[in-house]
């Protein structure tokens, strides 16, 4: 018995109609999830993470996706629930191992847990998979911080420089970059970063203090003094700014002022090796060699300070002649 070809047509039309209906349902479902994520992110923006978490939960129940798990992870992070944060980030990575945001979040967790090696791995993966410069720059800052934790300072500097080159200015990352430049004796580069930090975050006393220090290291004493005084406007007893100014006074022949500043600095920060070095130098000028060598020796035990080795060699070595 022959089957009429016309009987196929209704079946095909039915299939098409079902497919259209399903596509519409999928589209509607996706839009619903997207709206939940937008609502939750808006609550995060106004510092309501607990309420946002409830909305993110709804989104996850509707759709277990990279976006929904990472959204909920952000809420967990703000609420300091690191165990739940990690669970969501790991789920997001299982769903999409090429998600730059998921790798970035995983790197953040590792860095917080002081696991710099894992942080560097995931930050590198985030950089590799990032599709836009903002995420790439954020990941470069994170990688630089992880590399600094691994004592790979030269590579860390390159990572931070890459972040800055991408046009993103992050105060915490730039502060660390300035410190790495200083450790590498790249004082002019450190000064350039600190000048910008003073513009970005002028209320941070540390930026002005460190800027003054870099100017001292460059021998630009006249420019360094206003930086120290700007820091001391915020806190008249800030010990590092005081020890920096004491050193400047010493170098410019103002020994009375230097002595007053260094004593104030050491009252607030007795283990400041820079202040101890400066007081040792002042005591040498006063002829107090024994007390000076005590200050210089303690300073040496506390840290690596410029001029200290030579001062000890010239004045405190058992083989050096005693000055009368």
What would the pLDDT profile of 180-218 be if each residue is shown by its tens digit?
999 999 999 999 999 999 999 999 999 999 999 999 999
Confidence of residue 31 (pLDDT cuts 50, 70, 90): confident
Q: Is residue 231 part of a domain?
A: yes
| Whether residue 273 is found in the same domain as residue 208 | no
Do 100 and 126 form a contact (C-beta atoms < 8 A)? yes
| Whether residue 217 is found in the same domain as residue 263 | no
Residue among 202, 203, 204, 231 at smallest CA distance from 215: 231
Q: Is residue 24 part of a domain?
A: no
Tokens 């196929």 correspond to 8
Domain boundary among 203, 236, 269: 236
What would the pLDDT profile of 210-239 be if each residue is shown by its tens digit?
999 999 999 999 999 999 999 999 999 999
What's the whole-model pTM score?
0.83
Q: Which of 7-21, 23-37, 247-261 has the lowest mean pLDDT?
A: 7-21
Residue 150 has pLDDT above 50, yes or no: yes
Cα torsion for 230, 231, 232, 234, to the nearest 10°? Answer: 100
**Amino acid 155: pLDDT:** 98
| Whether residue 175 is found in the same domain as residue 228 | yes
What is the CATH number for 218? 1.25.40.10
Report which of residues 2 and 62 the model is more confident about.
Answer: 62
Domain boundary among 185, 203, 236: 236
| Whether residue 318 is found in the same domain as residue 257 | yes
| Whether residue 213 is found in the same domain as residue 260 | no
In sequence order, what are the residues at sequence separation of 6 or more whose Cβ sits closer than 8 angstroms to the Cβ of residue 52?
40, 41, 43, 44, 75
**Averaged confidence pLDDT in the chain:** 90
| Whether residue 229 is found in the same domain as residue 281 | no
**Can you tell me the distance from the alpha carbon of 7 to that of 117, in angstroms, rounded to the nearest whole number?**
66
Confidence of residue 29 (pLDDT cuts 50, 70, 90): low
Read off the DSSP letter of residue 142: H
Q: Which of 7-16, 21-30, 173-182 has the lowest mean pLDDT?
A: 7-16
Q: Is residue 135 part of a domain?
A: no
List the structure tokens of 275: 């202040």
| Whether residue 222 is found in the same domain as residue 280 | no
The domain in which residue 205 lies consists of 169-236
| Whether residue 274 is found in the same domain as residue 294 | yes
What is the CATH number for 313? 1.25.40
**Amino acid 15: pLDDT:** 42
List the structure tokens of 180: 């790495």
Confidence of residue 28 (pLDDT cuts 50, 70, 90): low
Q: Is residue 301 part of a domain?
A: yes
| Whether residue 283 is found in the same domain as residue 231 | no
User: How many structural domains compose the chain?
Assistant: 2
Q: Which of 6-10, 80-84, 175-179 has the lowest mean pLDDT?
A: 6-10
Query: Where is 19: in which H helix or E strand?
Result: helix 8-45
Domain boundary among 236, 264, 293: 236
Q: Catalogue the E-assigned strands of 118-207.
A: none
Residues 27-51, mean pLDDT to the nearest whole number? 85
Percent of the chain with pLDDT over 90: 85
Q: Is residue 73 part of a domain?
A: no
Q: Is residue 98 part of a domain?
A: no
What would the pLDDT profile of 70-90 be if each residue is shown by its tens digit?
999 999 999 999 999 999 999
Q: Is residue 152 part of a domain?
A: no
Residue among 276, 279, 280 at smallest CA distance from 259: 279
Confidence of residue 158 (pLDDT cuts 50, 70, 90): very high
Residue 174 has pLDDT above 70, yes or no: yes
Q: Is residue 107 part of a domain?
A: no
């Amino acid at each position: 018995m022959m089957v009429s070809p016309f009987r196929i047509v209704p079946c095909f039309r039915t299939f098409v109609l079902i497919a259209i209906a399903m596509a519409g349902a999928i589209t509607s479902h996706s839009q619903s999830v997207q709206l939940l994520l937008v609502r939750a992110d808006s609550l995060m923006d106004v510092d309501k993470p607990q309420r946002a978490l409830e909305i993110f939960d709804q989104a996850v129940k509707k759709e277990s996706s990279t976006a929904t798990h990472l959204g909920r992870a952000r809420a967990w992070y703000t609420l300091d629930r690191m165990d739940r944060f990690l669970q969501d980030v790991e789920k997001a990575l299982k769903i999409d191992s090429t998600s730059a945001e998921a790798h970035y979040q995983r790197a953040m967790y590792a860095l917080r847990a002081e696991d710099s090696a894992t942080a560097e791995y995931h930050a590198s993966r985030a950089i590799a998979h990032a599709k836009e410069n903002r995420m790439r720059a954020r990941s470069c800052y994170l990688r630089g911080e992880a590399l600094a934790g691994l004592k790979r300072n030269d590579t860390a500097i390159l990572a931070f420089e890459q972040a800055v080159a991408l046009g993103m200015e992050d105060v915490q990352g730039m502060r660390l970059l300035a410190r790495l430049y200083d450790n590498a004796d790249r004082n002019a580069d450190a000064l350039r970063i600190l000048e910008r930090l003073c513009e970005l975050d002028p209320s941070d006393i540390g930026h002005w203090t460190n800027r003054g220090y870099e100017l001292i290291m460059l021998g630009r004493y006249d420019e360094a003094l206003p930086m120290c005084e700007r820091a001391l406007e915020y806190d008249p007893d800030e010990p590092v700014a005081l020890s920096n100014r004491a050193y400047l006074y010493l170098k410019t022949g103002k020994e009375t002022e230097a002595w007053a500043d260094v004593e104030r600095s050491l009252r607030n920060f007795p283990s400041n090796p820079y202040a101890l070095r400066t007081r040792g130098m002042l005591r040498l000028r006063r002829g107090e060699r024994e007390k000076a060598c005590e200050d210089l020796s303690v300073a040496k035990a506390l840290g690596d300070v410029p001029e200290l080795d030579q001062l000890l060699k010239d004045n405190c070595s058992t083989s050096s002649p005693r000055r009368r």
